[in-house]
Amino acid sequence: MNLSNLDIAAFLIYCILLIGVAWWVSREKPGHEKTSADYFLAGKSLPWWAIGASLIAANISAEQIIGMSGSGYALGLAIASYEWMAAITLIIVGKYFIPIFLEKGIYTMPQFLEDRYDHRVRLIMAIFWLAVYVFVNLTSVLYLGALAINTIAGVDMLHGLVFLATFSMVYSIYGGLKAVALTDIIQVVLLIFGGLLVTWLSLDLLSDGNGPVSGFSILMQQAPDKFDMILSPDNPHYASLPGISVLVGGMWIMNFSYWGFNQYITQRALAAKNIQEAQKGIVFAAFLKLLMPLIVVIPGIAAVLLAPDLAKPDQAYPEMMKLVPSGLLGICFAALVAAVASSLSSMANSISTIFTIDIYKPLINPAASEKKLVFVGRSVALLSMLVAVIVAEPLLGQLDQAFQYIQEFTGFFTPGIVAIFLLGFFWKKATAHSALAAAISSAVLSLALKLLWPELPFMDRVGLVFLFCIAIAVLVTLLEHAGEQANAIDLEKIDYHTSSGFNLAAVAICLILVGFYTAWW
pLDDT tens-digit readout, 495-509 = 899 999 999 999 999
d(CA 312, CA 304): 12
Alpha carbon distances (Å) from 1 to 4, 321, 323, 330, 476:
10, 9, 11, 12, 58
Domain segments of the chain as ranges:
5-20+38-403
CA distance 47 to 352: 23
Residues 407-455 pLDDT 10s = 667 788 999 999 999 999 999 999 999 999 999 999 999 999 999 999 9
Does residue 1 surpass a pLDDT of 70? Answer: no
Q: Name the superfamily (CATH) of residues 5-20+38-403.
A: Sodium/glucose cotransporter (1.20.1730.10)
- Please give the pLDDT value at position 70: 87
- The number of residues in the chain equals 521
pLDDT of residue 147: 82
- 94 φ/ψ angles, rounded to the nearest 5 degrees: -65, -35
Nearest to 261, CA basis, from 22, 384, 442: 442
* pLDDT, mean of residues 220-247: 88
The angle at the Cα of 282, spanning 89 to 410, to the nearest 5 degrees, equals 45
- Confidence check: pLDDT of 237 > 60: yes
Alpha carbons 482 and 427: distance in angstroms, whole number: 13
Task: With residue 111 as reference, give the H or E element that holds it.
Answer: helix 109-116
Mean pLDDT of 281-302: 94
- Separate counts of helices (H) and strands (E) for the chain: 25, 0
Q: What is the DSSP string of 426-448?
A: H-TT--HHHHHHHHHHHHHHHHH
Give the CA distances from residue 464 to residues 231, 243, 254, 380, 408, in Å, rounded to whole numbers and listed in that order.
Answer: 20, 15, 12, 37, 15
Kindly give the residue spans of alpha helices, DSSP state H, lying in 223-327: 245-248, 250-260, 263-270, 275-296, 298-306, 316-321
Contact by Cβ (8 Å): 253, 466: yes
End-to-end CA distance of the chain: 37
How high is the pLDDT of residue 33? 73
Residue 370 burial by Cβ neighbours in a 10 Å radius (0-12, 13-18, 19+): middle
pLDDT band at 244 (very low <50, low <70, confident <90, very high): confident
Q: Measured at the alpha carbon of residue 225, what is the angle toward residues 224 and 229, in degrees to the nearest 5?
A: 100
Report yes or no: 51 and 277 within 8 Å, Cβ to Cβ: yes
Is the pLDDT at 401 greater than 70? The verdict is no
Residue 61: pLDDT above 90? no
Q: Which residue type does 364 have? A: I
SS (H, E, C) 94-105: HHHHHHHHHHHC
Task: Give the span between the Cα atoms of 389 and 395, in whole angstroms.
Answer: 10
Amino acid found at 242: P
- Count of CB atoms situated within 10 Å of the CB of 28: 10
pLDDT of 406 above 70? no
Q: What is the pLDDT of residues 65-120, one digit of tens each?
A: 887 888 899 889 999 998 999 999 999 999 999 999 999 888 999 999 999 999 99
CA 411 to chain centre: 14
Q: What is the pLDDT of residue 185?
A: 87
Residue 333 clears pLDDT 60, i.e. is over it: yes
| DSSP code of residue 46 | B
For 216-226, how does the pLDDT look when each residue is reduced to its tens digit (9 = 90+)? 999 999 999 89
pLDDT of residue 21: 86
pLDDT category of residue 10 using cuts at 50, 70 and 90: confident
Closest listed residue to residue 279, CA positions, set 107, 512, 474, 94: 94
DSSP state of 325: P
| Higher local confidence (pLDDT), 40 or 304 | 304
Tell me how far apart the alpha carbons of residues 204 and 223 are, in angstroms, rounded to a whole number: 16
Q: Which residues sit opposite 272 in a β-bridge?
A: 46
Q: Which pLDDT band holds residue 402 (cuts at 50, 70, 90)?
A: low
Query: CA-to-CA distance for 141 and 340, rounded, in angstroms?
Result: 7
Question: Can you spell out the DSSP letters for 48-110?
Answer: HHHHHHHHHHHH--HHHHHHHHHHHHHH-GGGGHHHHHHHHHHHHIIIIIHHHHHHHT-SSHH
pLDDT for position 137: 85
**Higher-confidence position of 129 and 2:** 129
